Structure 1
């Protein structure tokens, strides 16, 4: 069995105790909130951020299909990274920190699987980087949520800092390395959906012209043309 942290002299363990020590000195209600946020809250926030980004990139005009394809790739990449993590965990076999180290304030129970790498850190960073590929502004917010998720996992006493760093690296690598292939496959699919009469709004918002401009309604277009003729 591989042991990545043998004693408290290890900087990884020292940082674990420093961050988790904040939970010991925090009020009980705050620890409960952090437990929920780290376990479910930030994952939900990431999903809502993706939905918000989707509602924005649909107005991207000619680039809408490519943007939505990149956005679809974000959760798909997270799922692939999660699958890649399965053999990694089985190979490393690193126990949870509270198994080998006493005095940790563990905010959630029932964690019996291996620790390296963190699933939560992997998923959130994969979605955050995937968001960045689709839209930089939303991507920066997603990466910030992923960093907060990583902090929460250590704060909760269920992961070492290196578990989180490994998750960040895995999620980022899967998104960036497979992105060219994913975009080559997903973009034509999104363009086909865009041209479909009933479901095309999933890709491009109604009334959005190529280039992201809202098309004029017929009356407004006629009035605009008349004014231009008079000016001429």
Structure 2
């Protein structure tokens, strides 16, 4: 607690804040406006698009309904983990009660207005990293891209003058912990639900892009029908 309230310039947290935020002072106005928008909205929108990309990719790749259900459950967990991490952060912020850096330090370049809530832990960093780690569990390549966006998000929050580096690091840790530690429980709860959705004739396409007949066969274990003559040809080849 005492370390978080340190306002001295000798504090590495404060020094790094000034170093990163100082880049905004030397940057042209258009770049600061771009970083402000990207850090506030753009990167989170990009992460949501990666969630949709992972859903679409895994949905097409699944060979069975069971595979499709487990993949869909993993993708759905990413935004759910982010939402849960934000809820966990509410009491943390209230307990720590750390003020925004521009309220305690002079000369910062603040790129967004209206930030009056507490600073530790960063909601943006928490949300972005929780979705990134959740996606990594579902799809390694897309998950790495999402984690990369989360790191950029954290840098932007410091650049914008609205968070200390430790706010961002704390957000990364919280988002990672929630996404990883609760992933097995989420899979156990969400996979049966995704399986039921995938077996539905109306909304099954959300989980598995197979025909309703194929989904029904997969669900009850009926093998696919063979083309005429395929069986005899197989026997002839075996002979």
Q: Above 0.5 in TM-score? A: yes
Question: For residue 222 of structure 2, what is the aligned residue in structure 1?
Answer: none
CA deviation vs aligned residue, 1:151-186 (integer Å, no higher than 9, x gap):
000000000000000000000111111111111000
Question: For residue 220 of structure 2, what is the aligned residue in structure 1?
Answer: none
Query: How far apart are the structure 1 equivalents of 2:193 and 2:26?
Result: 52
Question: For residue 9 of structure 1, what is the aligned residue in structure 2?
Answer: 10
Query: How far apart are the structure 1 equivalents of 2:123 and 2:72?
Result: 25
Residue 159 (str. 1) matches residue 148 (str. 2):
no
Q: Secondary structure at the match of 1:61?
A: coil
Does the CA-based 8 Å contact 2:7-2:105 persist in structure 1?
no
Query: How far apart are the structure 2 equivalents of 1:49 and 1:160?
Result: 27
1:142 paired residue among 143, 146, 154 = 146
Question: For residue 214 of structure 1, what is the aligned residue in structure 2?
Answer: none
Question: For residue 63 of structure 2, what is the aligned residue in structure 1?
Answer: 61
Question: For residue 49 of structure 1, what is the aligned residue in structure 2?
Answer: 50
Superposed displacement of residue 223, structure 1: 8.9
Query: How far apart are the structure 1 equivalents of 2:229 and 2:186?
Result: 43
Residues 1-232 of structure 1: matches in 2 within 5 Å?
A: 3-59=4-60, 60-62=62-64, 63-206=67-210, 222=227, 225=230, 232=237
Greater shift, 3-12 or 138-147, is seen at: 3-12
CA deviation vs aligned residue, 1:86-110 (integer Å, no higher than 9, x gap):
1100110000000000000000000
CA deviation vs aligned residue, 1:16-49 (integer Å, no higher than 9, x gap):
0110011110000000000000000001001111
Superposed displacement of residue 64, structure 1: 1.3
Q: Aligned pair in 2 of structure 1 residues 163, 224: CA closer, same or farther (>3 Å)? A: farther
CA deviation vs aligned residue, 1:41-69 (integer Å, no higher than 9, x gap):
00100111101111001022221110110
Aligned Cα RMSD in Å? Answer: 2.4
Superposed displacement of residue 198, structure 1: 1.1
Aligned length: 224
TM-score between both structures, scaled by the size of structure 1? 0.90
Unaligned runs of 5+ in 1: 211-217
Q: Secondary structure at the match of 1:176?
A: helix
Does the CA-based 8 Å contact 2:89-2:123 persist in structure 1?
yes
Query: How far apart are the structure 2 equivalents of 1:224 and 1:113?
Result: 72
Q: Secondary structure at the match of 1:20?
A: helix
Unaligned runs of 5+ in 2: 218-224
Question: For residue 215 of structure 1, what is the aligned residue in structure 2?
Answer: none
Query: How far apart are the structure 2 equivalents of 1:41 and 1:194?
Result: 32
